[in-house]
A and B are shown apart, each in its own frame.
Chain A
Amino acid sequence: MTRISLTVDGEKVSDDIEARMLLVQYLREKVGKTGTVIGCDTSNCGACTVHLNGQSVKSCNVLAVQADGGEVATIEGLATNGELHPVQTAFRECHGLQCGFCTPGMIMQSIDLLANNPHPTEEEVRVGLEGNLCRCTGYHNIVRAVMYAAEHGSSDSVQSEGASA
């Protein structure tokens, strides 16, 4: 067992875990952050995307021990006082989901994208979401949602989320 201490959605957590435990397992099974989902076995789908020290990562392809001392942000920490994050709002406004399974990862990756490029072109959005697969929407409304967030979302809150997460 290895002891790890990290911050998840702003709260300090500390646990003794097996070194082989994946970050996504740790988040779901130990911390209860079941908003972060597992969509594949090959690190292709991106459904498990969270931010580790301010950068998007596939949490199925990171060991929990590698996150020791770090800061993790998940989809569950985005809304503040019941108010949706601007990118969440944008996905709702643009109908950027159908079954919703890819959505937690799509939103976390979109926030990362906008933090680095607050006013992307449509092409830049498509390339930036390359690591996130959606089996339902055909992507059009997802891309629209990110463009909408860039236009309407207070880019302040998008950026500070990306930078501090």
Chain B
Amino acid sequence: MIPVQFDYLAPTSVEEALAALVEHGDEAKILAGGQSLLPVLRLRLNAPELVIDLGKIDSLRGVRDEGDAIVIGAMTPHAQVQTDPLVAEHAAVLHEAVQHLADVQIRHRGTLGGALAHADPAGDMGAPALALDAQFVIAGSSGTRTVDAQDFFVDLFETAIGEDEILTEIRIPKHTGWGAHYEKFVRVAHQWPIVAVAATVRLDGDTIAEARIGLTNMGSTPLRARAVEDALAGQPATEDAVRAAAAHATEGTNPPSDLNGDADYRSHLAGVLTRRAVLAAIGR
């Protein structure tokens, strides 16, 4: 219930936070909204000597317009992502997905950067980030680098963020006017997805010009369903075409088996949910 003792630091700048990380190495842990880290510490699955709280670094919070992209600070709470008009207009599938993450109280505290850095394969933010070709801005003591979404998620709970680095921003190329839907399958309210599908689609009249599909919990990382995307491109926006394309949803996946469902069940879900998500995204 109660974490082991640790020292606590609440720096007011990224530089200060990085200096502390470099000094303490793997004895230190970054604290964002705490909605995943505090349960881990309370269950004593981890016992860092130092917790570095990013909560007082104001520059890491907020959404801004950068012309061809929107930029979301890593410490922007889920609740703010949910109501931000730039996100709704230019990254609609993220706007859709975040509404289904956890519950109101957790969305008030938890952050977009924290959810992505945590990299739980059942987490709801990875698939929309992949579908939107997000870029991850990562700061280290020797400077800042940018990592593409497909290189960011490495494995279960593992990302491209190094031990002495901090995720500072998520850059999302504008997908203005794209239809979007996040289809999340759960057994009970307020659950992690058994499988979920993030779909965002650009229509040209009655034709699907392009589609981007992200899968949640169909492998050790969020995945892109590229075979579905290829099968959708240039097709008429009809139920038959979408049904045929969705049959490719499991290509390249490696779904887990657990108490919520075995791998076969998840594979079945992926096809059904992909069809539903794409149809909803194109308003059919």
Contact = CB atoms under 8 A, between A and B. Distances in A.
23 contacts: A18-B5, A19-B8, A20-B2, A20-B5, A21-B2, A22-B42, A42-B39, A43-B106, A44-B190, A49-B105, A56-B105, A62-B38, A63-B8, A63-B34, A63-B38, A66-B31, A66-B55, A68-B10, A109-B105, A128-B104, A131-B102, A131-B106, A132-B103
B38 A61 contact: yes
Contacts of B39: 42-43, 61
B118 interface: no
Contacts of A65: 8, 10, 53
Interface of A: 2, 18-22, 25, 41-44, 46, 49, 52, 55-58, 61-63, 65-66, 68, 109, 112-113, 128, 130-132
Contact of B109 (A41, A61, A68, A130): A61
Interface in B63-96: 79
Interface of chain A: mostly helix, strand, loop or mixed: mixed
B161 interface: no
Contacts of A19: 5-8, 51
B1 interface: yes
Interface of B: 1-8, 10, 31, 34-35, 38-39, 41-43, 51, 53, 55, 79, 102-106, 108-109, 189-190
Q: Which of B5, B31, B39 has the most CB of A within 10 A?
A: B39
Q: Which of B3, B41, B104 has the most CB of A within 10 A?
A: B104
Contacts of A20: 2-6, 41
A65 B105 CA distance: 18
Given A19-B8, A61-B34, A63-B31, 5 more contacts: A20-B5, A41-B43, A43-B38, A62-B34, A65-B8
A19 to B, nearest CB: 3
A130 B8 CA distance: 32
Q: Which of B2, B10, B105 has the most CB of A within 10 A?
A: B105
A57 B38 CA distance: 13
B34 A66 contact: yes
B104 A56 contact: yes
A54 B79 CA distance: 13
Contacts of A128: 104
A22 B109 CA distance: 14
Contacts of B41: 20
